[in-house]
Amino acid sequence: MNSKPARNFKLMLLSFYFLAIGFSLNAQNTVIKAGHLFNSRTGEFVSNQMIIVKDGKILETGTNLKYSSSDKVIDLSKSWVMPGLIDCHVHITANYPYRNVSFNHSYTTESSALRALQGAFVAKQLLEGGFTTIKEIGNDANYATADVIKAIKKGWAQGPDIIYAGKIIAPYGGQTSGINIENEHLWQFEYIDADNPDEIKKAVRKNIYYGADVIKLVTGDNGIYNEDDIKAAVDEAKKSGIKVTVHALGGEAARNVIMGGAAAIEHGFYLDDELMRLMKEKGTFLVGTDFSFDNWYSYGMDSSQAKSLERVIVDRLKRAYKIGTKMAFGTDIIIDIPGLNRLQTNLKVLQTWKAAAIPSSYILQTMTIYAAELLGADKKIGVLEPSYLADIIAVDKNPLENIDAVKDVRFVMKKGQIIKQPGSNL
């Protein structure tokens, strides 16, 4: 072993080793000077902080941190800096005509390819608006979002990290009604029929095969899943380490979701206090998709219907907050309001949160740390602390004074990469 070639080889290895150390010492970190930094654990901003970013992650946060003169410094000393935002209920590949929704028409006229292109367009818009993670919750044609995710991974498209549900699993008929027998199964463009625990388990496995990392069920539209049905989905998903979330409005359907062990109820517009207390007890999240008047109106309702539905949501939000049901932010927009893009239409829901007088600090927590907890990603995102991903955004005004400040995100960093910064024309 001590022959000359072996010694030379060892020397060569050693020199590579020191070369590598030299490179890592000289590697450029990014230093962000944050005038106000959001602590999503406490819901408060802390002044005059610094964040050091290395290899896409946060290395250090604090005051007066030492850094190298070769590091890249980003001055956000006049800004409010926060973790990247998270939307737990989006449909990036769906866009229906204003006040003229026809799901069946879109199934027959829009291919999955077209829907994927729309998804890539919206994904970029959401990322540039500060949403660095989204939960894409179905109604995405024939797994169109799976291709959007692949395109983002290949670098062909830019978008948030996407937690993906695949096709929605529902009792026979999906969320359609009135389809004639000649067009039976038309809905399978977007839904998987599953009417007992075995069918549900098979549907879960199919979604996982095509890329799902969360499972979405619908109950209460064409029949109600019982507790065992929900449990079958939860157990099957658990084998792959993923969670189940369920569209349910209230009543028995919602009770079965909670008792069956699902991670969240989507919508829950008609949840009574007793069910929301049960959710609190079981740790079930509410993703409230809190439509404002304008969002309801875009579905084609008249003003009085839209107004009364907005009132229902405001009341449910108030009660959920008072009871202490866990909440994660979700928007659920599939129709853009004229003159507004998808990001702006999504954020119309903040109007409802404001009408319910929910504190801005709590709203920000539902968009960061609580959403991360629901997604099972709370060791990675939602908080700006060492070892977390460098998903960082900044706004010019104090969002605690008015949550609308998050509608104008000026700086976006995704895993250490700058997506948008002050002065850019995005």
Instruction: Give min distance, CB of 173 to Zn ion, in A.
Output: 17
Instruction: Give min distance, CB of 77 to Zn ion, in A.
Output: 39
| Share of the chain residues as helix, strand and coil, in percent rounded to the nearest 5 | 40, 20, 40
CB-wise, 87 or 391, nearer to Zn ion? Answer: 87
Residue type, 156: W
CB-wise, 229 or 332, nearer to Zn ion? Answer: 332
Are 317 and 291 within 8 A, CB to CB? Answer: no
Token readout for 388 is 């977390």
CB-wise, 128 or 221, nearer to Zn ion? Answer: 221
CB-wise, 168 or 194, nearer to Zn ion? Answer: 168
CB-wise, 215 or 394, nearer to Zn ion? Answer: 215
CB-wise, 73 or 312, nearer to Zn ion? Answer: 312
Are 241 and 233 within 8 A, CB to CB? Answer: no
Are 166 and 207 within 8 A, CB to CB? Answer: yes
Find the helix or strand (DSSP H, E) in which 57 lies: strand 57-62
Nearest alpha carbon to residue 326 among 360, 274, 358, 286: 286
CB-wise, 332 or 336, nearer to Zn ion? Answer: 332
Are 81 and 398 within 8 A, CB to CB? Answer: no
- Residue number closest to Zn ion, CB atom: 332
Instruction: Give min distance, CB of 332 to Zn ion, in A.
Output: 4
Q: Please name the residue that has the structure tokens 């609580």.
A: 370
Instruction: Give min distance, CB of 165 to Zn ion, in A.
Output: 10
Q: Which residues contact 249 (CB under 8 A, 6 or more apart)?
A: 220, 267, 268, 269, 270, 271
Are 364 and 40 within 8 A, CB to CB? Answer: yes
**Interacting residues toward Zn ion by CB under 5 A:** 332
Phi and psi of 323, rounded to 5°? Answer: -70, -30
Instruction: Give min distance, CB of 287 to Zn ion, in A.
Output: 9
Instruction: Give min distance, CB of 104 to Zn ion, in A.
Output: 17
Instruction: Give min distance, CB of 296 to Zn ion, in A.
Output: 14
Classify the C-alpha dihedral 172-174-178-179 as positive or negative: negative
